[in-house]
Structure 1
Amino acid sequence: MRAVRLRLLAALALFGLLPATLAAQQATLVSGVVTSEAGQPLSSVQVAIPTLGVGAITREDGRYSFTVAAERARGTASVVARRIGLQQKTATITLGQGPVTLNFTLAASVSQLEGLVVTALGQTREKSQLGTAVQSVTSDQLNTTHDPNVVNQLAGKVSGVVITGAGTQGGSVNVRVRGFTSITGNNNPLYVVDGVPISNGGRGGDPSGASNLDNGRDFGSAISDINPEDVENISVLKGPNAAALYGSRAANGVVLITTKKGGVSSRVATQITASNTWDRPSILPDYQNLYGQGSGGQFKYVDGQGGGIQDGNDQSFGPRLDGRLIDQFTGPQQPWVAHPDNVKNFFNTGQTRDGNIAFSGGSDRTSARLSLGGENVDGIIPNSFLRKVTALANGSLNVTDKVTATGALNYVRNTGQNRPGVGYNSGILEQFVWFGRQVDTDVLKAKMTDENGNLFNWNYNFHNNPYWLQYENPEKDVRDRTIVSGSLAWRPVGWVTATVRSGTDFYRYNIDQQFAAGNLNFSDPNYAGAFSYLRDVSSENNTDLLILANRSVTSRLVLNGTLGGNVRNQSTSTEGVGTAGISVPNIYNVSNAAITPSNVQFFSNRRVNSVYGAASFTWDEWFTVEGTARNDWSSTLPPGNNSYFYPSVNSSVVLTEAVPALKGMGGLSYAKLRGAYAQVGADAAPYQLRSTYQGFSQKFGANPLYTLTNTLANADLKPERTRSTEGGLELGFGDNRLTVDMSLYDKTTSDQIINLAVSSASGFTSRSVNAGKIQNKGFEALVSVVPFRRNTTEWTSTFNFSSNRGRVVELYPGLQTIVLGGTWSATVEARAGEPYGTIRGYGIKKDANGNYILAGGLPQRDTLQVLGNVQPNWVGGWNNTFRFGNVSIGALLDTHQGGKLFSVTNMFGEYTGVLANTVQGREVDWDNPGIVVPGVTSKGTPNTTTVTSEDYFQSFFRLHERYVYDASYTKLRELRIGYELPTSWANRMYAQSANIALVGRNLKTWTKVPNIDPEFNYSTTNYQGMEFATLPNPRSLGFNIRITP
């Protein structure tokens, strides 16, 4: 009995000790919140214990939590909090003694020398270990003024990257990373979102206007579909050295976009953002208001078609605007007076309103984020608008301790109406370089048609009523886009991860344009109107198998390895139909076509199979060597040439870690040398190996007709090759309060695939060949400094500089030039031995001393000659942020210096006499006092002949030299004044934090180019540097609000 009692007591004692034993071995919950120095919650911060391989990512409200398993919860551990663009912080905690609450406050990192960056294949690396040039921009830096196109927000912030806006709301953004790599092909960087390459294909933007079914409108580039509020970070891989693993499209650089993710807390976090800006044209021509419509000082209106005195003429060399009574389009004997604001008043004050709400949350095993956004843009041009709706859902699930699944679905719907044209024939400003200075646009707005329903206008020979164009000739477009991706990662051991990832980018684009009877540009005057329809479909799928290994071999040696394969399938199709004449008004259908419609049917497919690998080792955290290799097999190249291999190698040495004695010398706190060499191959566009047929609009009896394309195929094409070498130096001083990051590079692309012009007697206009070599050499620098920092007051300043010279080394044997585009006899060319983008046109005859050689007192045309080059000498940006407690002020200057442009606005503005400078020679009357042009006669004697102002300015037509300008400009690109509400105030609104800011974009432009905005582009093509009455980029003012409930 006693033995039984002892056993019972022992069991009770053991039972009593069990809770203590379990407590000693219990799991440890680590949680907290991460905020900025201003107290604002920070999302997407990685909080982890690296030695244990556990951690979490903060949600929108800055909260995080993770659990350390009981069997590993012993002793102390270091917890690290870090995010791209922020200074890393570390704290020590004790495990196994109950829950731990650990909060972090992270400061912005002005230095880009150390910390995390996103690199090729979406991997996160320590920047100190990279031997290539990579620059990151965080969401806070991107959304300072909230431009609807996230790529616009990079302007002036990344060295080596030239970004120009289209001047049209919702238009394309032209991005060049380290110059032009291809002579006639694609020069755009590759865009990758969360590891999935996406299309940046555009439609329109051709300045030739009516020659295409898109009629010269710019429908924007597809990258504008990305919601800026969903972007966590953008990393720019500059050129093939950094981006070699991405394959043939990496020669132009890669823009990596990382989106925001959910957290791990069961509490759902919410973030609300809203902005409202008002937009006006930033620059309009400087018009004269002394003389009205007509020629030779005469004008009298009868029918606007030449029935009166100069009333069919659309120039402004008519009578002086002195109030005399003259018959006009508004009625007989009307006061002849100027309307100084007739162009300015045509434009609306546009408005851009957008909002976004995001929900994020999760658990120890899951995380998710849902973001819903909307954008409404009422354009500066009457009856034009853009609408965008976005939805992004992403999440992850730890299926087991070793298997993780992720997925994302992004849907975007873009709708537009009356997107502006960008060409001379379709741009609205084309009309205003001919506009009579006496014309009252308010009358044209109030009366677009007469009592009989016919078009009402001031001139019927050359122009339509601009309001009638906007309201009776509607353009409507819709783009539906879906980007879906998923991955499954398996970690068999702690240092190896195998991932299968697949992503598809799909969009459908519909464009409908209707032209009422009387439309001078697009409708045959003998019929009742015209129309065109376009349907674009694009799909790209990328599937990868990726194995990553990261192994600490010793306490000083770390090895990293990557092995993978990729299958890329692309398909596009275009269907279009248009006619210049319909039978019955307002029925825009093929069955109503009076003129045989022009049909377009095109489809394209491409597949590229790839294998790639990379290996690197890091010794003692100061020396890293990495090598990569990739081989592609492309369906667009012939057997024998369709396989191409390209390697790269890079290395970095952190000198201050290798030689600690360097620290402190001259204030030096960090020094790193890096170097890299890379090769990248590129394939051809589809269907260049064999001749293909396309359908013809007409039939032969009942039989369909087909015709060969204009380009002769080449079955022996080889891949293009880009070779790049770069070196860099990174320095930090004063505990990295002053940092410098410099790069030198040399990039050459050979075996260019170009279409070479051939005699039309061959039945073709061109043939595809491998020929030509283009070289880019450049220097980049990024300087960051914190001039002042004390308590809650700080001033940070960043300046980036880059200079690139791209030169056409050679073309096809015997070929001197390739014309990239042209207008009014001026061209932009790729000329052998000269910088890429040469402007060529007619000069003005001069003698040996530079004097004009005149005939009849007027300048004379000289031969065709090189007039300049479109490439800037250098570009830069200066970004300053001032913080005073809860108040912050940010300002960004963006500058492009050097290069040339040719301006059609100025050429025709002088020819028509509408510009202010054309008053010269008619200060008293239309022919008084006249102009004596400085110069000499053909005999070398001084000119004494007086000519009229009209004759003088019209003599310069197609004398392009006069209208080629230095394209330099500096812009106040961004200005932001923000206020972070005190927490107590935010709490009264049931919010954790709230921020309000006044914002502005393109507020001021400094340039010597008269009458136009020197920043313009024509979609994403290589044909740049010629201005066709292009709309200026809008000046925007407004406010942003951000609330975290």
Structure 2
Amino acid sequence: MSYEWLRGHYVNNVNGYAALNYNVNNNIDLTLRPSITTYNFTNTEKLPYSATVYDRPEHKGDYRVDNRSLFESNVEFQAKYHRNAILGFLDVQGMFGGNARTFRFNSEYTTTNYLNVPGVYSFSNSLNSVQAASYNAEMLVLSGYYSLDLGYKSYVTANITGRFDKSSTLPAENNTYFYPSFNLATVISDYVKLPKGISFLKVRGSFASSKSGGTDTYFAPNVSNLAGGGYGYTYYSPYDGPGYDFSQTYTLQPYYSNQNSASYTNTLVGNNIRTAERKAYEAGLDVRFLENRLSLDVTRYRYRDDLIYTADVSESTGYSQLIKNQGKTQNDGWEVTLGGSPIRNKTGLNWDVNVNWFKFVRKWIDNPSGDNWVHSGTRTDLVYDNAFVRTSGGQLVIDQSSGLLLRYTDLGVNAKKVFGHSDPDWQWGITNTFSYKNFSFRFRFDGMVGGVVHDYVRQKSLQGGRHIESTQGKFGEARPDDALGSTGFSYVGEGVNLTGGTISLDPITGKITNEDELTVSKNATKTSVQQYVTRMASIHDLNNIKKTYAKLREVTLTYRLPADLFGKRTVFQNASVSLVGRNLLYFFPSRYKDMDVDQYTQDSGSGLQTPTTRSYGVNLNITF
């Protein structure tokens, strides 16, 4: 397969810039800086006859070509002013400037619809009509910006910035947007006499506004409506061009008799639509003690996001959806860094410690599409889903006729169980460094506490009958009987049967509301192991796990070579050799070590990835 299913990737990149500087006087500088960025690339794919992939049931191969080209130019003018000790106390640095950004992008994607002759990869060999998709984008962004830094002696510093952008791809009524920032900091220890133990004290605060500009960072063609659109890989290329999220467009695709047709969008755009915006507030404290041997840095931040929301509208209008400005979320967080030097000796042993701790909570301020579980005021990362029915004592309820676990939906109820939240409660890291003369030894632990994630690897291996647990214990004892058919099944699931009436569930929480009216008995119905574990893995309930973990992330032993080792005329200033080990220990329940939970810090579910491997290496560092 590796010799026949071939993918080609051909790229040409050109980047260039020039700068012209002019010093008007000792305080004023002018700069003109034009630049260009371009790339052209071609991706090809040759899918051979008989290759089995999703969405190509006839197995007759395909040939695809993906061409993309991007051209971007920026012409920027900037004027700077700087002067110290104005009126004897004020330091000023400022600038203003403008930029004209011209952007042009083209994409053409063409594919056969099966091959007529095996092994001939050309569009003329397409068994059915050749299909293609194209995308073209142009954009002009005119920008103006400014920055002003003010310093009152060494006591207070302030920074004020602002930027205006006018984009040709946004609605004409709101195609200009402004985002400012303000920063203020003061070193209190420079002008206030503090206790002897405090060697440094600084406080800071800031505000910043940012807006999306209606652009996308990466691009990949939409081939979902083309032949074979359901298989293959999606290649993302750098883009940073218009997404046209607020544009009403036609969609071209084949309909009756494979004839191309155009259909107008069924989505309206609000008359006063604006791009999404984030407002960030931050305050911090930096304090050091005992001649800087102990330091503490505390940061408190809050982000508020104004969102874009697509709402349903009456289809009597001729449309089904409306894009508008609605929805607000808030992210509150803390970050604390503690540093210390318990042992400090210029000619002997030194010990430095750095501890980092942080947490954040994301909540809905205004949820325009809330339900019974997530709505305004609740966390945005709430994890809730269908679940297995349980008694008030926590026992799993098993269907008496099939011997399988009962789900809420099996009883016709759309209730949800709240499993927790995907964001961790907090995260941490500790780094210790010991040094003695030319040797140093450093090791770092980190981890997180709280949060839940769905183990997708475990779910799929259970469903496929390949998980080791399905061959151990009671599963292992009953597994051979699966081959005997329904009359020979011998596995009995651990749980209870509820008889004597119909089970009623709360439509929100899924709790049994009539348990007192039912008869509870231990399950005795036999089923197959594979049917049972497949039902276990049919929903996320039993595969949602806590994210709490710790890792020995890195261990480094370094020897710094003596300065005179290579003689007085050596070109080397410093040289060192290190032994490095990474991901050496993983403290996490062994039952779930099929996934690396630290790769899913904010995710509610994992992918089909393998855990990070341990690595060992040697690092030689030479400074000339």
Which TM class, normalised by the smaller chain length? 0.7 to 0.9
Worse overlay, 1030-1039 or 601-610: 1030-1039
Secondary structure of 1:640's aligned partner: helix
The 1:630–1:1028 alpha-carbon spacing in structure 2 relative to 1, beyond 3 Å, is closer
**What percentage of aligned pairs have identical amino acids?**
24
Q: Which residue of 1 aligns with 2:157?
A: 624
Aligned pair 1:484/2:12, yes or no? no
2:582 to 996, 1001, 1014: 1001
Q: Kindly report which structure 2 residues correspond to 1:193-592, keeping only aligned pairs within 5 A, or say none.
A: 468=1, 470-522=2-54, 524-552=56-84, 553-579=86-112, 581-592=114-125
Q: Report which of the two has the higher share of strand.
A: 2
Change (3 A) 1:689 1:871: same
Structure-1 separation of matches of 2:293 and 2:135: 56
Taking the aligned partners of 1:901 and 1:972, their CA distance within structure 2 comes to 21
Q: Which amino acid aligns with 2:248?
A: S
Per the alignment, do residues 936 and 539 of structure 1 end up closer, same or farther by CA in structure 2, a change over 3 Å counting? farther
AA at the equivalent of 1:879: T
Tell me how far apart the structure 1 counterparts of residues 317 and 580 of structure 2 sit (CA, whole Å).
59
- Quick one: which of 200, 206, 213 aligns to 1:683? 213
Instruction: Look up the match of 1:669.
Output: 199
Instruction: Tell me, yes or no, if structure 1 residue 951 matches structure 2 residue 506.
Output: no
Quote the residue 1:897 is aligned against: 449
Do the aligned residues in 2 keep the contact of 1:986 with 1:994 (CA within 8 Å)? no
Distance in 1, matches of 2:267 and 2:618, equals 52
Q: CA deviation at 1:734?
A: 1.8
1:782 aligned residue: 337
1:970 is aligned with what amino acid?
A: A
Secondary structure (helix, strand or coil) at the match of 1:1027 reads coil
Distance 2:578 2:245 in 1: 53
Give the equivalent residue in structure 2 for 1:842.
386
- By how many angstroms is 1:772 displaced? 1.1
Q: Tell me, in whole angstroms, the C-alpha distance in 2 between the residues paired with 1:603 and 1:830.
A: 39
Q: Distance in 1 between matches of 2:176 and 2:168?
A: 10
Counterpart residue type for residue 209 of structure 2: Q
TM-score using structure 2 length? 0.79
Deviation of residue 508 (structure 1)? 3.8
Distance 1:697 1:531, change over 3 A: farther
Shift of the 1031–927 alpha-carbon distance from structure 1 to 2, 3 Å rule, reads closer
What is the aligned counterpart of 2:276 among 720, 740, 745?
720
Note if 1:801 corresponds to 2:357: yes
Tell me which of 417, 423, 426 is aligned to 1:874.
426
Q: For residues 175-194 of structure 1, what are the structure 2 equivalents within 5 Å?
A: none
Alpha-carbon distance, 1:1017 to partner: 6.2
Partner of 2:145: 612
Corresponding position of 2:182: 649
Change (3 A) 1:975 1:516: farther
Q: Name the residue aligned to 1:1029.
A: 608
Q: Secondary structure at the match of 1:795?
A: strand
Cα offset, 1:731, TM superposition: 0.4
* Deviation readout 1:893-913 (Å, 9 max, x if unpaired): 332332222222211222233
How many residue pairs get aligned? The number is 556
SS at match of 2:495: coil
1:15-26 matches, cutoff 5 A: none
Match runs of 1:852-1001 below 5 Å: 852-856=396-400, 857-862=403-408, 863-865=414-416, 866-918=418-470, 919-926=472-479, 930-938=491-499, 939-947=518-526, 948-987=528-567, 991-992=571-572, 993-1001=574-582
Which amino acid letter does the alignment assign opposite residue 811 of structure 1? N
State the one-letter code of the partner of 1:637.
L
The answer to whether residue 280 in structure 2 is matched with residue 692 in structure 1 is no
Residue 460 of structure 2 aligns to a residue whose secondary structure is: helix
Q: Which has the higher contact order (CA 8 A, sep 6+)?
A: 1
Q: Which residue of 2 aligns with 1:731?
A: 287
Question: CA offsets per residue over residues 66-96 of structure 1, 9 Å max, x none?
Answer: xxxxxxxxxxxxxxxxxxxxxxxxxxxxxxx
Paired residues of 1:565 and 1:612 also in contact (CA < 8 A): yes
Q: CA deviation at 1:671?
A: 0.5
Q: What is the rounded CA distance, in whole Å, between the counterparts of 1:669 and 1:894 in structure 2? A: 29
Q: Residue type matched to 2:253 in 1?
A: F
Residue 761 of structure 1 deviates from its aligned partner by 9.1
Distance in 1 (CA, whole Å) between partners of 2:11 and 2:540 is: 39
Shift of 1:614: 2.7
Quote the offset at 1:782 in angstroms: 2.0
Matched-pair contact (CA < 8 Å) for 1:523–1:581: no
Q: Which amino acid aligns with 2:337?
A: L
Q: What residue identity is the alignment partner of 1:497?
A: D
Structure 1 position 807, deviation (Å): 1.6
SS at match of 2:172: coil
**8 Å contact kept, 1:631–1:643:** yes
Question: Equivalents in 2 of 1:998, 1:765: separation in Å?
Answer: 62
- Alignment of 1:1014 onto 2:547: no
Go from structure 1 to structure 2 and tell me whether the alpha carbon gap of 1:1033 and 1:566 turns closer, same or farther (over 3 Å shift): farther
**What SS does the corresponding residue of 2:53 show, helix, strand or coil?**
coil
- Report the secondary structure of 2:386's partner residue: strand
Task: Measure the CA separation in 1 of the matches of 2:375 and 2:495.
Answer: 34
Can you list the C-alpha shifts for 1:374-428, whole angstroms capped at 9, x where unaligned?
xxxxxxxxxxxxxxxxxxxxxxxxxxxxxxxxxxxxxxxxxxxxxxxxxxxxxxx
Rate the CA distance shift 1:778–1:495 in 2: closer, same or farther, 3 A: same
What amino acid is aligned across from residue 674 of structure 1 in structure 2? R
Unaligned runs of 5+ in 1: 1-467, 819-828
Structure-1 separation of matches of 2:177 and 2:422: 33
CA distance in 2 between partners of 1:479 and 1:782 (Å): 44
1:541-563 residue CA offsets vs partner (Å, 9 max, x unmatched): 44432222222214432122222
Gaps of 5+ in 2: 216-241, 409-413, 482-489, 500-517
Distance 1:989 1:1004 in 2: 44
